[in-house]
């Protein structure tokens, strides 16, 4: 039976996350693109702001209001933090709303207040289908919170080890380097080319980055043991991609660790455990919805070391959003998404 296409609107279509959702929807077999909306750029043609989205070049950006977003099967929100609740609450309950922002990711209001400040909007089903039991919760959900980019890569790099109990989860260290698009398109002085080019820098050091509680929340859901995390993000001079190096105390061998990961990811369409000894690199995942993972054990240090690479805008945001939409609408989870990257 031929099913008519689902109609999707994208709010924040002039931004990086919204742009990536649109790029993916343009080759999705079951979706047609309805309203595209923005803030200060409303009234502008999409072709001026997102010239890579050729089939949408003549589309005019509308204001982001419940009215312009009404009448769609699915609405993607790629808006700054704090903007999603008002829009989502004004849309019908049966509309699938997929929020790329952070507003509905955390379940713990105290953690929200500590790391984001202000009132906690609430929590929605968390859009990481690879977490144990999560795929079922996303099937036919009508509100979904897409994970942060660092939490996606860090959680998946560590999930098999935490779930199998092969690491001491109180000693987790994650250091993750991100490209600049992770910070969004709005101009910021620390993102000027002259600040970023030819330099790598740490930020959000000392347990202060807002993705810390999100990673802890994800990993805590996989174990009864206490989870303690030291997370340090780095900004590196590339447009896309995150490479996360994650480690924790262990007593297993490298072979046992690899076998644990192999088993955990065997049926995951987007998680690719590289052949033993091959280490993830961001260039292999750019534009793809894949996350590449490798694991070993540093026997002298007694630590399991897992490294993972993801495209922050694809599996790290836009791709995850489309994957979640597929589950919510009862479509093939992989529709419109590819594991094939671009090289060199």
Ligand X SMILES: CC(=O)N[C@@H](CCC(=O)OP(=O)(O)O)C(=O)O
Ligand Y SMILES: NC(=O)C1=CN([C@@H]2O[C@H](COP(=O)(O)OP(=O)(O)OC[C@H]3O[C@@H](n4cnc5c(N)ncnc54)[C@H](OP(=O)(O)O)[C@@H]3O)[C@@H](O)[C@H]2O)C=CC1
The DSSP secondary structure of 105-121, one letter per residue, reads T-S-HHHHHHHT-S---
Smallest distance, ligand Y to C-beta of residue 13, A: 6
DSSP letter, residue 73? S
- Give the whole-angstrom CA distance, residue 18 versus residue 315: 14
Q: Which of 15, 19, 129, 148 forms a contact with ligand X (CB under 6 A)?
A: 148
Is 183 among the residues that bind ligand X (CB under 6 A)? yes
What x/- string results for residues 27 through 46 when contact with ligand Y is judged by CB under 6 A?
-----------xxxx-----
Interaction partner, residue 4 (ligand X, ligand Y, none; CB < 5-8 Å by kind):
none
DSSP letter, residue 1? -
Choose one: 21-29, 127-135, 178-186, 190-198; the region binding ligand Y (CB under 6 A).
178-186
Q: Which of 85, 90, 204 is nearest to 145 (CA)?
A: 85
Instruction: Give strand pairing partners of 272.
Output: 292
Longest dimension (CA), the chain: 61
What x/- string results for residues 115 through 154 when contact with ligand Y is judged by CB under 6 A?
---------------------------------xx-----
Q: Which is nearer to ligand X, 115 or 261 (CB)?
A: 115
What x/- string results for residues 231 through 250 when contact with ligand X is judged by CB under 6 A?
--x-x---------------
Sheet containing 271-273: order of strands? 201-202, 229-235, 172-178, 242-249, 303-310, 291-298, 271-273
- Give the whole-angstrom CA distance, residue 296 versus residue 254: 5
100 a catalytic residue: no
Which of 216-248 are b and which e, b meaning 16 or more Cβ less than 10 Å from the residue's Cβ?
bbbbbbbbeeebebebbbbbbebebbbbbbbbb
Is 102 among the residues that bind ligand X (CB under 6 A)? yes
Q: Which of 325, 184, 303 is nearest to 252 (CA)?
A: 303
- Give the whole-angstrom CA distance, residue 20 versus residue 24: 6
Q: Which is nearer to ligand Y, 14 or 289 (CB)?
A: 14
Choose one: 48-56, 64-72, 176-184, 269-277; the region binding ligand X (CB under 6 A).
176-184
Smallest distance, ligand X to C-beta of residue 183, A: 3
What x/- string results for residues 65 through 104 when contact with ligand Y is judged by CB under 6 A?
-------------xxxx-x----------------xxx--
Q: Which is nearer to ligand X, 149 or 286 (CB)?
A: 149
Is 149 among the residues that bind ligand X (CB under 6 A)? yes
Task: State whether residue 212 is helix, strand or coil.
Answer: helix
| Residues of the shown chain interacting with ligand Y in the complex, contacts defined by CB under 6 A | 12-18, 38-41, 64, 78-81, 83, 100-102, 148-149, 181-182, 184-186, 312-313, 316-317
Catalytic residues, which ones?
149
């Amino acid at each position: 039976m031929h099913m008519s296409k689902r109609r999707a609107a994208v709010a924040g279509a002039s931004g990086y996350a919204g742009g990536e959702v649109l790029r993916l929807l343009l080759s999705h077999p079951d979706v047609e693109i309805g309203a595209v909306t923005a803030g200060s750029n409303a009234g502008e043609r999409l072709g001026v702001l997102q010239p890579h989205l050729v089939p949408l070049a003549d589309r005019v950006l509308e204001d982001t209001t419940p009215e312009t977003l009404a009448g769609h099967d699915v609405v993607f929100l790629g808006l700054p933090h704090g903007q999603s609740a008002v829009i989502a609450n004004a849309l019908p309950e049966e509309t699938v709303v997929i929020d790329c922002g952070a507003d509905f990711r955390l379940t713990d209001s105290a953690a929200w207040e500590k790391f984001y400040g202000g009132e906690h909007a609430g929590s929605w089903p968390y859009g990481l289908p690879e977490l144990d039991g999560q795929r079922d919760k996303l099937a036919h959900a009508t509100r979904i919170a897409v994970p942060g980019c660092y939490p996606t890569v860090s959680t998946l790099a560590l999930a098999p080890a935490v779930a199998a109990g092969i690491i001491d989860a109180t000693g987790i260290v994650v250091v993750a380097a991100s490209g600049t698009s992770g910070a969004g398109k709005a101009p910021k002085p620390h993102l000027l080319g002259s600040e970023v080019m030819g330099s790598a820098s740490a930020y959000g050091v000392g347990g202060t980055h807002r993705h810390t509680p999100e990673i802890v929340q994800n990993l805590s859901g996989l174990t009864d043991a206490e989870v303690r995390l030291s997370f340090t993000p780095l900004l590196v001079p590339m447009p896309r991609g995150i490479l996360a190096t994650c480690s924790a105390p262990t007593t297993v061998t490298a072979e046992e660790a690899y076998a644990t990961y192999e088993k955990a990811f065997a049926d995951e369409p987007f998680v690719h455990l590289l052949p033993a000894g091959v280490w993830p690199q961001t260039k292999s995942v750019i534009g793809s919805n894949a996350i590449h993972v490798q694991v070993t054990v540093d026997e002298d240090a007694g630590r399991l070391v897992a490294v993972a690479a993801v495209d922050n805008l694809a599996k790290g945001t836009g791709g995850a959003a489309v994957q979640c939409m597929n589950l919510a609408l009862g479509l093939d989870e992989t529709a419109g998404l590819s594991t094939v990257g671009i090289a060199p």
